[in-house]
């Protein structure tokens, strides 16, 4: 089981707070640190809190940390031209010394799209845009000059230099829950983050997670994927003086096939819980 920490910059974090938390996670032994891709936050999506942009934030963290892996979970493909985003990601991979985890998704937050002047297509079109964005990203990262003509995006003789440091490429993560997104993950990605929670935002039960993973396994067989997708999930997490409840929850998820668990600690106590993890959480999965 790999363990990471995830924060939403839309929750009102300053850069100093996020940087301190990322350094604390690195010191405690977490393997990865993730940020979300939003332009504003606050209750009901009201833009009443500070919100740092995800890719510039990741570039700064790449310089201010040394070994923890860094990712966006997940970047909405429509927010940035996919070719530009592929260049940005390659740059962050270089700045970080090869520590980038590339997370991308089809997008969902309609009020954010409307506020910033982006079209908000149908779910099917957004998934199609994700597929085309993945084609463009992979071609730019592997070809000297890349050309792709899709319904939504196109590139002609485009160059991504330098290529990402990691070979054959930075790990690609696709986040979501539906079968179409799962199929894209099985075709294009290295890992799938199950972006699904229970009724009213409750934790998934192990049985609910297992059902989603069975659906994913069926899709992997259908597309004749070589090798199994890595399975990830983020979840609201608390680590009190007795760390057993969180350890038991993660172990139950591991029992149904989860390979990476990302802790979304409460903002007000995140630093304390990250520090406590060094003795109460990390050793349980070493």
pLDDT in tens, 251-264: 999 999 999 999 99
Averaged confidence pLDDT in the chain: 95
What was the pLDDT predicted at 43? Answer: 55
pLDDT tops 80 at residue 128: yes
pLDDT (average), residues 131-145: 98
What was the pLDDT predicted at 44? Answer: 58
CATH fold, domain 2-285, is: TIM Barrel (3.20.20)
What was the pLDDT predicted at 41? Answer: 77
Query: What is the pTM for the complete model shown?
Result: 0.96
Instruction: Give the chain as a DSSP string.
Output: -EEEEEE-GGGT--HHHHHHHHHHHHHHT-SEEEE---S--SGGG-S-S----HHHHHHHHHHH-SSSEEEES-EEGGGS-HHHHHHHHHHHHHHTTS-EEEEEE----HHHHHHTT-----HHHHHHHHHHHHHHHHHHHH-SSEEEE-SS-EEEEE---SPPSSSS-PPEEEEE-SHHHHHHHHHH-SEEEE----GGGPPPPHHHHHHHHHHHHHHHHHTT-SSPPEEEEEEE----SS-HHHHHHHHHHHTTT--EEEEE--GGGHHHHHHHHHHHTGGGG-
Tens digits of per-residue pLDDT, 48-69? 678 999 999 999 999 999 999 9
**pLDDT exceeding 90 applies to what percent of the chain?**
91
pLDDT (average), residues 201-206: 94
What was the pLDDT predicted at 10? Answer: 82
What was the pLDDT predicted at 199? Answer: 86
């Amino acid at each position: 089981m790999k363990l990471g920490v995830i924060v939403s910059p839309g929750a009102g974090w300053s850069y100093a707070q996020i940087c301190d938390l990322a350094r604390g996670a690195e010191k405690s032994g977490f393997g990865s640190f993730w940020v979300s891709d939003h332009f504003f936050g606050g209750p009901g999506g009201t833009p009443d809190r500070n919100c740092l942009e995800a890719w510039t934030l990741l570039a700064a963290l790449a310089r201010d940390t040394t070994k923890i892996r860094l990712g966006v979970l997940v970047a909405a493909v429509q927010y940035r031209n996919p070719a530009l985003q592929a260049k940005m990601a390659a740059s962050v991979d270089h700045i970080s010394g090869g520590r980038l985890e590339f997370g991308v998704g089809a997008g969902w937050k309609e009020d954010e799209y409307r506020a910033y002047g982006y079209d908000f297509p149908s779910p099917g079109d957004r998934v199609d845009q994700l597929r085309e964005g993945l084609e463009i990203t992979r071609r730019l990262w592997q070809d000297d000059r890349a050309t792709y003509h899709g319904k939504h995006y196109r590139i002609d003789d485009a160059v991504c230099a330098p290529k990402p440091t990691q070979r054959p490429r930075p790990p690609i993560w696709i986040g979501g829950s539906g079968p179409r997104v799962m199929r894209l993950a099985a075709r294009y990605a290295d890992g799938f983050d199950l972006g699904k929670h229970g009724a009213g935002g409750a934790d998934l039960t192990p049985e609910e997670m297992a059902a989603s993973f069975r659906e994913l396994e069926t899709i992997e067989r259908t597309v004749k994927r070589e090798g199994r997708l890595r399975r990830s999930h983020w979840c609201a997490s608390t680590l009190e003086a007795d760390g057993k409840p969180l350890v038991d929850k993660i172990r139950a998820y591991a029992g149904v096939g989860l390979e990476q668990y990302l802790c979304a600690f409460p903002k007000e106590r995140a630093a304390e819980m990250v520090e406590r993890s060094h003795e109460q959480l990390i050793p349980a999965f070493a």
